[in-house]
Amino acid sequence: MLRQDGFDLVLLQEVWSEQDYSDLKGKLRGCYPFSHYFHSGVIGSGLCIFSRFPILDTLLYQYSLNGYPYMLQHGDWFCGKSVGLIVTKISGIIFNVYVTHLHAEYCREKDVYLPHRLVQAWELAQFIRHTLTAADVVLLGGDLNMHPGDVGIRLLRGWTGLRDAFAEAARFEGCEDGCTLIPNNCFTAKTELLPFPQGVRIDYILYKAISSVTVKCEELKTTTGTAPGMDIPFSDHEAVMATLHIQRQGQAVGDNLGTAEPMLVDVVTETRTEVVVGLRAAQRQRYSTGRMAVLALLLLLLQAVAALGALAGLVAGQPFPKLSFSLLAFLAIGVLLLATGLHLFHTMEVKMLQGTEEQMRMALRALQERPSDG
């Protein structure tokens, strides 16, 4: 499909295997002579970009929070969730192209990862704002794992001024409401989509114009059904394809960062509230794991005292239970190491959440003071 449709840019996520990327690169070289794979985490960010135009520069930012390493069944932490940036020039216009994949939701009713995903959305918005100064056009594509009305999407769009290609498209063709995760896809978990019979839209193409350029979305499409000649779809998510009309104007139109929106104060406040909830939970986890580590250390000290007492003959005539003593010691050491590791992890989590909360507090102060400056 990528060879036949002749896209200018292709943004992929979940390409976990670098061998898969190499295979794609070899097969697509004739159509997309330029590409970049973003290395991150233990198993890789899964992010890569294929381009028909030269890639002038690249940059990767790994989010400070990426879930929990002990949640092995989810594995987001091992990916090193990130945002990748390439800079390219098309017809004299500089493009900043961002690709990302935020932490998955897994359970909407009790979303323990919401604070982490909101931190990622905030860092993504900040990363875009602080790297777009030399660009004429900003494009962001990827699996954001958030519904269009979720606070994280509202924060990202409000803070950066990015426009949603689905909402702006002059023509649309594909799944109803632009959904990209749909129940009739054989790779999706049907139970997770029971509240959403039509599916959900969590994959996006967002864009904005900088300087003297205008951008309009002429058409947006999603894949539907199975791949041609096969009985399975291309992926567990439907692909999103946008046709953008970009034109240079005679005068600069401004960068339109979007932070002047009156509702942005409420969005940042709502996001900060969720981050504070996550901060309190992380502090409780830090306290619990720290207490467990202390108890394990005390148990080891008691065992050491008992062993010294036996060696000194204080319990002469009594057989020393070497096997049970050794098993208990190994258990205490294991608990001590595990609890200490978790305590350190949650300490770092607390610091990251505190840092983000402080950034949001400063941003709110600046937003609230802005009307008086005018």
Q: Beta-carbon neighbour count of residue 334 at 10 Å?
A: 11
Report the C-alpha gap between 127 and 134 in whole angstroms.
14
CA distances from 23 to 10, 28, 79, 142, 230 (A): 15, 9, 20, 21, 20
Report the C-alpha gap between 135 and 130 in whole angstroms.
11
Residue whose token pair is 């990862």 = 113
Give the bridge partners for 86, in sequence order: 58, 97
Known catalytic residue: 237?
Answer: yes
26 CB-near residues (< 8 Å, 6+ apart): none
> Coil, helix or strand for 189?
coil
Options 103, 237, 343, 346, the catalytic residue: 237
Report the C-alpha gap between 336 and 290 in whole angstroms.
9
Report the C-alpha gap between 77 and 44 in whole angstroms.
10
Catalytic residue IDs: 237
